[in-house]
Amino acid sequence: MSASFASALNAARDAAAAQHYPQGALYVVATPIGNLADITLRALHVLQLADTIACEDTRHTQALLRAYGIEKNGGQWLALHQHNEAEASLSVVERLRAGQRVAYASDAGTPGVSDPGARLVAAVHAAGLRAVPLPGASSVTSALSAAGAVAQSAEGFLFAGFLPTKSGERATAVQRLSVETRCVVLLEAPHRIAELALALAVLGDRQVTLARELTKQFEEIATQPARALPAWLAEGTQRCRGEFVVLLHPVQPTQDEGDSLRVLKLLMQELPLKSAVRLAAEITGASRNALYESALAFKQEGTEDA
């Protein structure tokens, strides 16, 4: 056990042991994306409690657990990754039906987002069994929280994951995303980030945040126009190292607020409120949430005038 985590297991027991952890349930465990201190106390407790540890890479997860002082024997490990997820899911279901607690962890972060796990959880649900989430580290939400790319008045974000690796297909995907008004979250590997940057450069002045090595010693988060991405990456070889989260910031409205509100008022004269808001947002590029709030205010003003 790492000396830094010598007291972690006791803290996990004290903080989490009072909760009920039913047998015959799958526990979907988020693990650190780089910094070992980002493990949760509930995760540590469940990893100790689990009868089986299913994971993307048994060697990786075994090393992770040993860092916290958790040891499991050979029969308690089950490899479950993208190449065997369907078959291995059947084994998990069998163990759950036998009353085992099974914990599933991908190599880093929250399973089932861009890592394996979704098919496993679907199989567990199809068998009428329970899946229990243990939230924790996520590169997606970590990057979003530090980039300021999703304002409260915006319409959320789109998780697009990894774009196609072939240049033509990637260019088509970028063209499709160029008209997406919401923040777009992409993931990319270090050996392909330069190619992705070139593909995104066609977006011109659209702001893009690159977040690499999140939670690690050399974490770097930088925001610049899409056209500047290739040059920024070329400034140092270290800038192409590590896993990347790439955020395309929301497209700025092309019309001013007065124009969007005038369009909204005209549409409200002919359409139900929600339909008027949806069309006004599509026509003007303004935030649907902001237009909806304005529409409610207009409606209230009309009621008071009457």
CATH code assigned at 70: 3.40.1010.10
Residues 163 and 107 in one domain: no
Residues 131 and 157 reside in one and the same domain: no
pTM of the model: 0.80
Which of 213, 231, 248 terminates a domain? The answer is 248
Q: Which domain holds residue 235?
A: 140-248
What order do you get walking across the sheet with 130-134 strand by strand? 77-79, 52-55, 102-105, 25-29, 130-134
Report d(CA 70, CA 53) in Å as an integer: 11
And the tokens for 21?
Answer: 């952890």
pLDDT tens track for 227-251: 999 999 999 899 999 999 999 998 7
Is 121 in the same domain as 145? no
C-alpha dihedral over 230, 234, 237, 240, to 10 degrees? -10
Split into its structural domains, the chain has a count of 3
116, 106 contact by CB (below 8 A):
yes
Per-residue pLDDT tens digits for 185-220 = 999 999 999 999 999 999 999 999 999 999 999 999
251 half-sphere exposure, CB direction, 13 A CA radius: 18
Higher pLDDT, 281 or 296: 296
Residues 127 and 161 in one domain: no
Output the pLDDT for position 43. 97
Q: Which residue, 230, 248, 266, sits at the end of a domain?
A: 248
DSSP β-bridge partners for residue 131: 26
Q: Are residues 107 and 88 in the same domain?
A: yes
More confident residue, 253 or 36: 36
User: Same domain for 110 and 144?
Assistant: no
Same domain assignment for residues 183 and 95: no
CA distance 1 to 3: 6
The reply to whether 210 and 285 lie within a common domain is no
- The verdict on 22 and 133 lying in the same domain is yes
Could you say which of 203, 229, 248 is where a domain stops?
248
Task: State whether 115 and 21 are in the same domain.
Answer: yes
Pairing relationship of beta strands 52-55 and 102-105 according to DSSP bridges: parallel
